[in-house]
């Protein structure tokens, strides 16, 4: 059985990113072996599966998400979260808990 690669990354809230999407560095996307979606888990309680897009400007240890959407889910700026490829190909979901 193969293990999923996961990494602890810092969530940043920004208005540049559209709702339902997050931005990651291309090196991070390659390391996590992501296709088009990423699973973000915060403190084992909040779990999001969002569409991922690549952007070179973003630091390797950060995930950029939509400011309003992150606020709606109660995710503060600079929050640490575990990021990994989702197990199943889910539709883009806002919250599963």
Query: Do residues 6 and 63 touch, judged by C-beta distance below 8 A?
Result: no
Residue 93: pLDDT band with limits 50, 70, 90: low
Structural domain span for residue 49: 6-84
pLDDT in the model for residue 15 = 93
State the CATH number of the domain containing residue 45: 2.40.40.20
Mean pLDDT of 46-67: 95
Q: Is residue 14 part of a domain?
A: yes
Token digits of residue 36:
């088009």
CA distances from 16 to 8, 68, 82, 83 (A): 22, 11, 22, 20
Q: Compute the chain's Rg from CA coordinates.
A: 12
pTM above 0.85, yes or no: no
- For residue 70, the tally of other CB atoms under 10 A from its CB is 23
How many separate domains does the chain show? 1
Q: Is residue 32 part of a domain?
A: yes
- The residue to which tokens 């309003």 are assigned: 68
Residue 92: pLDDT band with limits 50, 70, 90: very low
Q: Is residue 34 part of a domain?
A: yes
Q: Is residue 72 part of a domain?
A: yes
The Cα 85–Cα 67 span in angstroms is: 22
Q: Is residue 95 part of a domain?
A: no
Q: Is residue 59 part of a domain?
A: yes
């Amino acid at each position: 059985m193969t293990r999923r690669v996961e990494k602890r990354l810092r969530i940043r809230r920004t208005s540049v990113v559209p709702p339902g999407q997050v931005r990651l560095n291309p090196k991070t996307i390659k390391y996590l072996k992501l296709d088009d979606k990423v699973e973000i888990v915060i403190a084992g309680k909040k779990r999001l599966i969002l569409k991922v897009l690549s952007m070179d400007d973003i630091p390797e240890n950060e995930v950029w998400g939509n400011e309003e959407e992150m606020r709606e889910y109660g995710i503060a700026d600079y929050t640490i979260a575990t990021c990994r490829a989702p197990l199943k190909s889910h539709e883009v979901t806002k919250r599963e808990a």
